[in-house]
A and B are shown apart, each in its own frame.
Chain A
Amino acid sequence: MAEPILSVRNLQTQFAAQEGVVHAVDGVDFDVFEGRTLGVVGESGCGKSVTARSILGIVESPGRVVGGQILLRPAKGGAPIDLLTLSPKAMRDIRGPEIALVFQEPMASFSQYYTIGNQITEAIRLHMGMDANAARARAIDLLDMVGVPQPSRRVDEYPFQLSGGLRQRVMIAMALACDPRVLIADEPTTALDVTTQAQILDLLRELQQKRGLAIILITHDMGVIAEMAHDVAVMYLGRAVETGPVGEIFSSPKHPYTRALLRSIPTVLAKPRTRLPTIAGSIPHPFNRPTGCPYHPRCSEIITGLCETAEPPAVGEASREVRCFLHGGRP
């Protein structure tokens, strides 16, 4: 396989609070390739959104990236750059032209006081050095590309004038304004209805095929992952507990969490009124992070005396890793 565009190595992001330190991201590794989608899946508090924000260098205080590497391979080739070593000013040239973000809540992520055209052209003028007219023309092209009807009229409208689905299209247009190579989509369809979700997922797939975008798709929805992702990273409490190609994750999941998660998903294929297998307990509070393997209190296959104390290392090849003592790595 080709070289990855973006590699995350042992990423650690912490939030210091009075009650203690929250290890929101605690040693995450993954690779993102051109024209492929990496699905990052996990439940609330697993650190998937903080991972995205860490990559872009927009973790909000008191959060801080405390370790690891985020390696971006330059477009012209050459040695990868570690984004964590860049100055804030240099980072600004990464956000937009190299890596862009689509947020979950399209209403909350726009300014209500500027037209959408205004908000799209801001980045174009800043990064691509176009004048106002050229930038506006590009904004209209972008809106057209993401399927906003009547783009030359819509460009002068305000976000509140658009429906949820259209707002998400505009958000994608804005993210693509400076031709990024990596698109991070953080729950891009969670706030949308299913029929609108289907439209947006189709759009993302189409854009990826046309432009060879590398997409990091962050979601809690295994259905969306099955549909969109080529590769998957399953996260639990700040760790990628299992990574691998989408087919293998679904057909032969290795980590007990992945297995349990897949079993507990309601599907339209189920028989009516059937009980679902559940995962015992609930996700621990971030201040009460379990010792050892963070999943051990909920795990049905716990190895008593080992999982409570020792942290399982990642085992397997780079493209198919799992962090669980059932699959090796015992001390």
Chain B
Amino acid sequence: MTTLLEVRGLRKYFPIRKGLLRRVVGQVRAVDGVSFTIRKGETLALVGESGCGKTTVSRCILRALAPSAGAINFSIGGRTVDLAALKRRQLRPLRRHMQMVFQDPYSSLNPRMVVGDIIGEPLLINGMTDRAERRKRVAELMELVQLPAAYLNRFPHAFSGGQRQRIGIARALALNPELIVADEPVSALDVSVQAQILNLMLDLQDRLQLTYLFVAHDLSVVKHVSDRVAVMYVGRIVELAETEALYNRPLHPYTEALLSAAPTPVPGVASNRIVLEREIADPANPPPGCAFHPRCRHAQDRCRQQTPELEEVEPGRWVSCLRARELSLQGIADPA
């Protein structure tokens, strides 16, 4: 499979300023050396808890934020460009190839625009000035996301959360993008609607050969949509693997704890859960050595001194843990 996107050594630091002169007194290392690739047509999930840097990574890829360091190689039309090195003007023609689906379908749609204009806006901006042609394409897109075309002239407030998310998806698809970055696309939705949107995303991927970067905190949702999963903790990827392998046999203690903490809709399963103590490390002041060591039940002295690198321990399995080869961790417990 060909690589669509390659992220190398991505860093994004936010300065902490203090005092009258707004002097920089420190750095929040929101993303601190992240590398991964996304293959064409696959779904890579970026998973982690709040503050782990997953959203910052996705925003750097879309160049909504300028990375502090690193390369973002995007392959399009037979050539590869480093998005991190481009200027705003140079980025503009590339933006149509990567689009975003947002978390909150309530705040991400302009309440003063009718649905037809919301979905048609990217078309207009990219030069489809003919009104009839635009209408036709908007109708096509609405059909694609299973919204009745009759709703063209309605405002967002007339739609339910799930319908709004469909509008957001239609808008993202308007320009036939290669890459869709979906940041928590279903976490604001009710369970019964969540399933509809997840299925829609899977169907659209099959039909249009889309590539997804799926940013989420919910491991259950991620299991349903992704081919591969990257787990982040305090600005770094701690583990990256094929979905099934990662869930069945995690290699990083943090992945193990996350899987164990995920509530399972089966009464009585939760009894032997690993409950992590303390809190997520502060990215402005991460602990020395492995950032996870203060919460890790397998930590040894060397974990406090030596910072582990992400390395490929088995084909396709990347993990950043000094003890990855010696630990035998617990995957998801199948009640059956």
Nearest to A251 among chain B residues (CB) is: B267
A251 to chain B, nearest CB (A): 8
Which residues from chain A contact B270 at a C-beta distance below 8 Å?
201, 226-227
Nearest to A46 among chain B residues (CB) is: B190
Contact of B263 (CB < 8 Å), options: A163, A223, A247, A264: A223
Evaluate whether A266 and B218 lie within 8 angstroms (CB atoms) in the complex, with A198-B276, A202-B275, A247-B267 already known.
yes
Contact of A43 (CB < 8 Å), options: B49, B192, B259: B192
CB pair B192–A260 under 8 Å, yes or no, is yes
CB pair A275–B199 under 8 Å, yes or no, is yes
CB pair A199–B263 under 8 Å, yes or no, is no
Evaluate whether A270 and B190 lie within 8 angstroms (CB atoms) in the complex, with A199-B276, A226-B264, A275-B202 already known.
no
- Of the four ranges (under 10, 10 to 19, 20 to 34, 35 or more), the interface on chain B belongs to 35 or more
CB pair B160–A223 under 8 Å, yes or no, is no
Which residues from chain A contact B43 at a C-beta distance below 8 Å?
273
Evaluate whether A276 and B263 lie within 8 angstroms (CB atoms) in the complex, with A195-B258, A227-B270, A268-B247 already known.
no
CB pair A270–B195 under 8 Å, yes or no, is no
Nearest to A264 among chain B residues (CB) is: B195
In the assembled complex, B296 has its CB within 8 A of some CB on chain A:
no
A193, A261, A268, A278 interface centre (most CB from chain B within 10 Å): A268
- Residues of chain A in range 268-310 having any CB-CB distance to chain B below 8 Å: 268-279, 282-283, 285
CB pair A269–B264 under 8 Å, yes or no, is yes
Distance A321 CA – B222 CA, assembled complex (angstroms) = 35
Nearest to A198 among chain B residues (CB) is: B261
CB pair A268–B265 under 8 Å, yes or no, is no
Nearest to A163 among chain B residues (CB) is: B279
CB pair B267–A276 under 8 Å, yes or no, is no
Contact of A266 (CB < 8 Å), options: B193, B195, B261: B195
Q: Mark A218-254, 1 if CB is under 8 A from B, else 0.
A: 0011111111000000000000000000110010000
In the assembled complex, B224 has its CB within 8 A of some CB on chain A:
yes
Q: Mark A83-119, 1 if CB is under 8 A from B, else 0.
A: 0000000000000000000000000000000000000
A197, A227, A264, A266 interface centre (most CB from chain B within 10 Å): A266
Which residues from chain A contact B258 at a C-beta distance below 8 Å?
194-195
Which residues from chain B contact A193 at a C-beta distance below 8 Å?
49-50, 217, 280
Interface size on A, residues (CB 8 A): 48
Contact of B261 (CB < 8 Å), options: A195, A220, A264, A272: A195
Nearest to B259 among chain A residues (CB) is: A268
A169 to chain B, nearest CB (A): 11
Which residues from chain B contact A273 at a C-beta distance below 8 Å?
43, 202, 224-227, 243
In the assembled complex, A47 has its CB within 8 A of some CB on chain B:
no
CB pair B261–A197 under 8 Å, yes or no, is yes
Which residues from chain A contact B277 at a C-beta distance below 8 Å?
199
Distance A278 CA – B194 CA, assembled complex (angstroms) = 9
B163 to chain A, nearest CB (A): 7
CB pair B49–A194 under 8 Å, yes or no, is yes
CB pair B192–A278 under 8 Å, yes or no, is yes
6 interchain pairs (CB within 8 A)? Answer: A195-B257, A198-B276, A226-B263, A266-B198, A282-B193, A283-B190
Q: Chain B residues in contact with chain A, CB under 8 A?
A: 43, 49-50, 160-163, 190-196, 198-199, 202, 217-221, 223-227, 243-244, 247, 257-270, 273, 275-277, 279-280, 332, 334-335
